[in-house]
Amino acid sequence: MGDPDLKGRHFLALHDFTTKELTYLLDRADDLKRIQGQDRRAEYLVNRVVALVFQKTSTRTRVSFEVGVSQLGGHAIYLNASDIQLKLGETIKDTANVLSRYCDAIMIRTFAQQDAVDLATYGQVPVINGLTDDYHPCQVLADLQTVREHLGTLAGKHLVFVGDGDNNMANTLMEGGALTGMHVTVCGPAGYQPREDMLVRARELAATTGSQIAVSDDPQAAVAGADVVYADTFTSMGQEAEHDARLAALIGYQINADLVRTAGPQAKVMHCLPAHWGEEITEEVLYGPQSIVFDQAENRLHAQKAIMAAVIP
């Protein structure tokens, strides 16, 4: 059997894809990275226009999508929420129908997952989830690519997410790990652990691959022997008013030199960025010899190029 045909598909959450389809996207990301390293262009999006809708600010998502569209031979239009009518109350349904008349695909970075779902439901072109409060599938595709580059395989490897386990990164890492046979532990204190519905879905996916999805509140025990130790900000966009309370609750879950020593010399350190030194991670660890954080950041470009090349007709 040949490669999966993903043309016209939306990329809203990893659970919408099979293990075979996800592996295909990872392989394609590797191919596009290799081609770029050989100073060759893979122009899959010639004469294609991609709308980039941002209701949340970004560094990596904006730059990697704009560069990626350009490198694939297409044209990206950046649409900040304050620049378009969504800011003034135009409905997602109307926006979806209008943008579909102009553009060949839409990337949205927003708050509610339902906004991305509605954009896909009412539009007529592929919609890519650049981040919502529930999921960050582009980031995790890049993360899986990065782990595979450094460890050679995904199946059987153990990734431990430390910090606020009730967030989009923990949710998506559980799904990505489950689909690829990784063992994923989410480690956070009471009140900062995965929602039950997210945990149930991830474990259902895990049952198909032999993956294991676990929850812990003990960071020292959780990371011992791990292949990957993963951090994310303790305070996500929209939670700024909770910063002090969240920091007080989560500071014991900081990824620092002591925790990395507990994990062991084999452990790779990851962070989806932006990082807040002295909160969820220390500068020493972020720039230490076990960090692969900036390989992660680079792979956003290659993973997203793979997604766009695969789904945009």
Q: Which residues are catalytic?
A: 109, 136, 139, 232, 272, 300
Phi, psi of 58 (to 5 degrees): -165, 150
For residue 60, give the DSSP letter: H
Distance CA 62, CA 45 (A): 18
Distance CA 116, CA 312 (A): 17
Compute CA distances 311 → 106, 199, 222, whole Å. Answer: 11, 28, 37
Listed in order, strand segments (DSSP E) in 180-244 are: 183-187, 212-216, 228-231
For residue 255, give the DSSP letter: B
Asked if 141 contacts 303 with a C-beta cutoff of 8 angstroms, the reply is yes
Distance CA 48, CA 39 (A): 22
Query: By three-state DSSP, how is residue 232 classified?
Result: coil
Distance CA 169, CA 177 (A): 12
